[in-house]
């Protein structure tokens, strides 16, 4: 079945450091890939997405590239801010059938001033 | 705000009692989902709906039932609450499937004592 594996957290960084959160997936065919972010006490919101191989999703300085050959969708940001502290979820959805949204376990990011 | 309201936002209940959580949307989206969020597990799908009276089970459906008699409402019922159902429950809606974004409610924190 479909699954998503994320690096365990927490990831602790100083402000302006470079961020990478690893995500790999298992799926048949060509799923769509997503990163969602959850701020404390809130629901999830979409950060970025990519719908086909080699696509790059980007938003608010975050980027992730859909790598079919390595089945990966790693999240990166060149310079993190304290306000980026949150939990980040990688997710996938098949583009055929019912297309359930499957999530990874989440990675907590803590950014200190 | 994607027009999703979950109620109640917090609830404490006793073991063995029935509990119903409500998800209400104003977007007229076809697809609705119930997830639970637990540390170390990310978000796990409980049940989902692809239309009025059309529902199906997710990966952790035991002990839960759902109903969708109107497009805007998706109810999750714990028939006889157990301590293992203590969790944060999220409702999500989606206009289409595959590469479309899902919108999440604020969550319901349920404690079973």
The CB density around residue A85, as the number of other CB atoms within 10 Å, is 18
Residue of B56, B61, B102 to mutate, testing the A interface (most A Cβ within 10 Å of its Cβ): B102
Closest CA to B73 of B10, B6, B11: B6
d(CA A101, CA B44) in angstroms, rounded, equals 10
Q: If residue B76 lies in a helix (H) or strand (E), which one and from where to where?
A: strand B73-78
Q: Summarize the confidence of residues B6-26 as an average pLDDT.
A: 97
Report phi then psi at A28, rounded to 5: -90, 150
Residue-level pLDDT, tens digit, chain A, 113 residues: 789 999 888 999 999 999 999 999 998 888 899 999 999 888 899 999 999 999 999 999 999 999 999 999 999 999 999 999 999 999 998 766 666 788 999 999 999 99
pLDDT at A58: 97
The CB density around residue A52, as the number of other CB atoms within 10 Å, is 13
pLDDT at B40: 82
3-state helix, strand, coil in chain B (%, to 5): 5, 60, 40
pLDDT at A8: 84
Among B33, B94, B105, select the one facing A43 at the smallest CB separation.
Answer: B105
Asked if the model's pLDDT at residue B96 lies above 80, the reply is no
Q: Summarize the confidence of residues B64-79 as an average pLDDT.
A: 97
Asked if the model's pLDDT at residue B1 lies above 90, the reply is no
Residue B106 burial (C-beta neighbours within 10 Å; 0-12, 13-18, 19+): middle
CB contact under 8 A, B102 and A101: yes
pLDDT at A57: 97
Q: Where are the alpha helices (DSSP H) in chain B?
A: none
d(CA A110, CA B21) in angstroms, rounded, equals 32
Residue B45: HSE in the Cβ half-sphere, 13 Å Cα cutoff: 23
pLDDT at A96: 67
The pLDDT-based confidence of B41 (bands split at 50, 70, 90) is: confident
Closest CA to B42 of A55, A62, A108: A108
Residue of B35, B37, B99, B100 to mutate, testing the A interface (most A Cβ within 10 Å of its Cβ): B99
């Amino acid at each position: 079945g479909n699954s998503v594996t994320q690096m365990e957290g927490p990831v602790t960084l100083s402000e302006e450091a470079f961020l990478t959160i690893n995500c790999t997936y298992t799926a048949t065919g060509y799923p769509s890939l997503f990163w969602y972010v959850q701020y404390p006490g809130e629901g999830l919101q979409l950060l970025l997405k990519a719908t086909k191989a080699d696509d790059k999703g980007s938003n608010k300085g975050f980027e992730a590239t859909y790598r079919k050959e390595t089945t990966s969708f790693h999240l990166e940001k060149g310079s993190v801010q304290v306000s980026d502290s949150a939990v980040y979820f990688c997710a996938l959805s098949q583009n055929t059938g019912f297309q359930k949204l499957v999530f990874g376990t989440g990675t907590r990011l803590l950014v200190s001033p | 705000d994607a027009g999703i309201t979950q109620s109640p936002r917090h609830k404490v209940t006793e073991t063995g009692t029935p509990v119903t959580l409500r998800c209400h949307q104003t977007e007229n989206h076809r697809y609705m989902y119930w997830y639970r969020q637990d540390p170390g597990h990310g978000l796990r799908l409980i049940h989902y709906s692809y239309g009025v009276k059309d529902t199906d089970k997710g990966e952790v459906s035991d002990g839960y039932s759902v109903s969708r008699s109107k497009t805007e409402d998706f109810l999750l019922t714990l028939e006889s609450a157990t301590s293992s159902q203590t969790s944060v429950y999220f409702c999500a809606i989606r206009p289409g499937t595959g590469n479309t974004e899902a919108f999440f409610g604020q969550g319901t924190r349920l404690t079973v004592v």
